[in-house]
């Protein structure tokens, strides 16, 4: 059985923790930035302070990130590590794109001319946006997974 716990690190940074059988690991850090950032600025910020913009490689990871967004009543989209380069979408941290969450019937992402950066909506769908678009928030992958036993 999985349980979801939310832990506030500071007023600007939130960690999602996923606990199972006495073990924990951190999946994502949702950053609320007072200055809006482009996708590239968000990527640079994550790489300077954490590891990278997050990749959402499964329904579980998408739902965990979505629960944090909905928990904080975020109404605009957040940047994630999805980028269109060459002729396909990829995760900037090198993870393979094995899971997709585009809105049903959306064709715009298939061969974007300008909107080549990925964002997660409050409904949990991916959207493609222009490099120059700015959002207040982005999701960074946490630096390390803590696999030590939980102290009770």
pLDDT, mean of residues 15-40: 57
Q: In which band, very low, low, confident or very high, does the pLDDT at 91 lie, cut at 50, 70 and 90? A: very high
Query: Could you tell me the residue ranges of all domains in the chain?
Result: 30-141
Burial of 12 (0-12, 13-18, 19+ CB in 10 A): exposed
Phi then psi for residue 32, to 5 deg, are -100, 115
Residue 65: predicted pLDDT:
84
What's the whole-number average pLDDT of the chain? 75
From CA 55, how far away is CA 81, in angstroms rounded?
Answer: 6
Q: In which band, very low, low, confident or very high, does the pLDDT at 32 lie, cut at 50, 70 and 90? A: low
Q: In which band, very low, low, confident or very high, does the pLDDT at 107 lie, cut at 50, 70 and 90? A: confident
Of 62-76, 96-110, 123-137, where does mean pLDDT reach its minimum? 62-76
CATH class in words for 30-141: alpha beta
- Residue 148 predicted with pLDDT over 60: no
């Amino acid at each position: 059985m999985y349980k979801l716990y939310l832990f506030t690190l500071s007023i600007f940074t939130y960690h999602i923790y996923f606990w199972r059988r006495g073990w924990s690991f951190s999946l994502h850090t949702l950053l609320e930035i007072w200055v809006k950032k482009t996708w590239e600025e968000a990527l640079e910020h994550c790489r300077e302070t954490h590891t990278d913009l997050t990749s959402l490689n499964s329904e579980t990871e998408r739902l965990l990130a979505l629960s944090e967004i909905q928990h904080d009543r975020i109404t605009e989209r957040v940047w994630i590590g999805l980028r269109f380069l060459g002729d396909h979408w990829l995760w900037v941290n090198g993870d393979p794109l094995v899971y997709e969450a585009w809105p049903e019937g959306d064709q715009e992402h298939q061969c974007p001319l300008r909107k080549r950066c990925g964002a997660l909506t409050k409904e949990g769908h991916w959207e493609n946006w222009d490099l120059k678009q700015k959002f207040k928030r982005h999701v960074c992958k946490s630096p390390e997974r803590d696999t030590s036993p939980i102290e009770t």
